[in-house]
Amino acid sequence: MITVNEHYSKLQASYLFVTIARKIKDFQEQHPDVDLIKLGIGDVTKPLPSACIDAFKKGVEEMADEKSFRGYGPEQGYSFLREAIARNDFRDLGIEAEDIFISDGAKCDTGNFQELFSTNSRVAIPDPVYPVYVDTNVMAGRSGVWKDGRYEGLHYLEANSENAFIPAPLNEKVDLIYLCFPNNPTGQVASHDQLARWVEYARENKALILFDAAYETFIRDDSLPRSIYEIPGAREVAVEFRSFSKTAGFTGTRCAFTVVPRECRAYTSDGEAVNLQPMWNRRHSTKFNGVSYPVQRAAEAVYSPEGKKQVRELSDYYLGNAAIIRKNMEALGFTCIGGENSPYIWVDGRRDSWDFFDLLLSAGVVVTPGSGFGRCGEGYIRISAFNDREKVLAAMERIKSSLA
């Protein structure tokens, strides 16, 4: 008899976006004349940079000619892209092309990486959090059942106003630590010192940090670390995930990468060190077959002189939106986090997350209730800067009128 992986039955249905969709539908039925402004979802709205479009098209044209046609590529990605990433994103950080594995998304990579570890690893996960880290560990059997809004057996790193939404290392011992800066959903960014404390914890406790830097492109404060490898000693204890999704509008085009430094290690149960790079290479080449060749060419163009300029303009545009949102919400008396080096603004609503959501919906603006990201998100909302400037301005006017 074929029996299922019963850990799946522990998974809670994700009611967050389902509930939002239902509330929007109800509202639209009652107010068919209102054109809702959506600042809820973390998806980009601006088209691909023209440098990427040109390279993408050229890649497609190569597939039309027998002489330039490409079949199976290297599972790890083409050298032209791995080298461009190493040279541009990790110069002087000790990361080389062979440490970089190209994939079709940071969601896949952050979801898949836990496969390399034993199922009894103790997992530390932020709260509030991007749900993929949690769900993939539940599927793998690293949690107990759902109880009082949390999975038993997981170690939650509570982020709240007391620690400025940057959790410090725990007193208890954990093995696998998920961190995300600039953070989704709070928009907060850890300093060098704060990351250094985590690296120190990982080194002392033989733990591993999975560092999600998918929003790195929005960092404008040069004193903030863009990569965990800016922290000395991190290469032995940290894997970093990056993506072209937010950097260059690739959410529908699909390209990302994971950095597994050759020094990075875990251990056998006997305590013998094991390099993770060959293990990830084996996993990646056994269960993945490379990213579409024209897509890799489009991603490479992000690093061309025009690409760099266009990508900077894109993130400047969304950061301009974020500044408008934060300024307006603060002027209305709300305490905000994020929005300065991040496309997300995390607003203390001083009331139940869903009540605030309902209030803003009645004003014609959709946001995301913070409680959907975890228990510590209760009382907050996340406002996304991914929309057109005029819609952001109109949304702020609506919120102002509604709260006046």
Chain positions 97 to 126 lying near a second copy, rule: CB under 8 A, are: 104-105, 107-108, 111-112, 115-121
Task: Please give the structure tokens belonging to residue 198.
Answer: 């985590």
Subset of residues 337 to 396 that bind a second copy, contact rule: CB under 8 A: none
Q: Does 402 appear as a known binding residue?
A: no
Q: For helices 15-30 and 353-362, what crossing angle results, to 10°? A: 30
Q: Does 267 appear as a known binding residue?
A: no
Q: Is the CB of residue 336 less than 8 Å from the CB of residue 381?
A: no
Is residue 66 a contact residue for a second copy (CB under 8 A)? yes
Q: Which of 31, 57, 351, 389 binds a second copy (CB under 8 A)?
A: 57
Distance CA 260, CA 98 (A): 9
Subset of residues 235 to 254 that bind a second copy, contact rule: CB under 8 A: 249, 251-254
Kindly report the CA angle at 286 between 117 and 258, in degrees rounded to 5?
60
Q: For helices 50-62 and 305-331, what crossing angle results, to 10°? A: 140
Question: Nearest approach, Cβ of 229 to a second copy (angstroms)?
Answer: 18
Choices 54-62, 84-92, 219-227, 352-360 (CB under 8 A): range interacting with a second copy: 54-62
Q: Does 218 appear as a known binding residue?
A: no
Longest CA span, the chain: 66
Question: Nearest approach, Cβ of 106 to a second copy (angstroms)?
Answer: 9
Nearer to a second copy (CB atom), residue 176 or residue 228: 176
Question: Nearest approach, Cβ of 104 to a second copy (angstroms)?
Answer: 6
Tell me which residue of 271, 221, 236, 227 sits closest to 92, measured CA to CA.
227
Q: Which of 71, 232, 305, 333 binds a second copy (CB under 8 A)?
A: 71
Subset of residues 124 to 153 that bind a second copy, contact rule: CB under 8 A: 132, 135-136, 139
Nearer to a second copy (CB atom), residue 30 or residue 269: 269
Question: Nearest approach, Cβ of 131 to a second copy (angstroms)?
Answer: 8
**Residues constituting the chain:** 404
User: How deeply is 170 buried, as exposed, middle or buried, from its count of CB atoms within 10 A (0-12, 13-18, 19+)?
Assistant: middle
Total residues contacting a second copy by CB under 8 A comes to 79
Is residue 69 a contact residue for a second copy (CB under 8 A)? yes
User: Site mask, a second copy, residues 288-317, x = CB under 8 A?
Assistant: xxxxxxxx----------------------
Is residue 206 a contact residue for a second copy (CB under 8 A)? yes
Q: Which three-class secondary structure string do you get for 55-83?
A: HHHHHHHHCCCCCCCCCCCCCCCCHHHHH
Q: Is the CB of residue 182 less than 8 Å from the CB of residue 173?
A: no
Question: Nearest approach, Cβ of 145 to a second copy (angstroms)?
Answer: 15
Cβ partners under 8 Å of residue 334, min gap 6 = 347, 348, 349, 350
The values of phi and psi at residue 205, to 5°, are: -105, 10
Is residue 207 a contact residue for a second copy (CB under 8 A)? yes
Is residue 190 a contact residue for a second copy (CB under 8 A)? no
The values of phi and psi at residue 123, to 5°, are: -110, 130
Residues of the binding site for substrate: 15, 42, 107, 130, 184, 289, 382
Residues of the binding site: 15, 42, 72, 106-107, 130, 184, 215, 243-245, 254, 289, 382
